Amino acid sequence: MATVASLVYAQGKPFDTCASARARSDAVSRSPTGIVPEALMNPGSKREVMAFLATLPVEGGVKVDLLVGWARMVGVSVNAAQRDMVRNTGVDYQ
């Protein structure tokens, strides 16, 4: 079974980074599908998702992208303080 880190990174690069995604002018966030547990894919699980993301061994920016992707999928918003809280748990902030 694949680890969470291996799902987030493929061959050392974030899994959804491609030239076409980077070239697009609109904001692109990573899909949380397959990373965030299915049980947390509902609007009432924001705190649980943030706690789950805090445990992942990846950079803060990746965690924020996953949080924003989750929020878009379930139809909630995340504010700057919530994004910063998740970002600060990244391996690049320790």
CA nearest neighbour of 46 among 82, 91, 80: 82
3-class secondary structure, 6: helix
Overall pTM > 0.75: no
Beta strand pairing call for 9-10 and 13-14: antiparallel
**pLDDT digit string (tens) for 7-49?**
555 444 454 443 334 344 356 677 888 899 999 999 999 999 9
**pLDDT digit string (tens) for 73-82?**
999 999 999 9
The domain limits of the chain are 29-93
Rounded Cα distance, 1 and 33, in Å: 16
Cα Rg of the chain, angstroms: 13
β-bridge partners, 9: 14
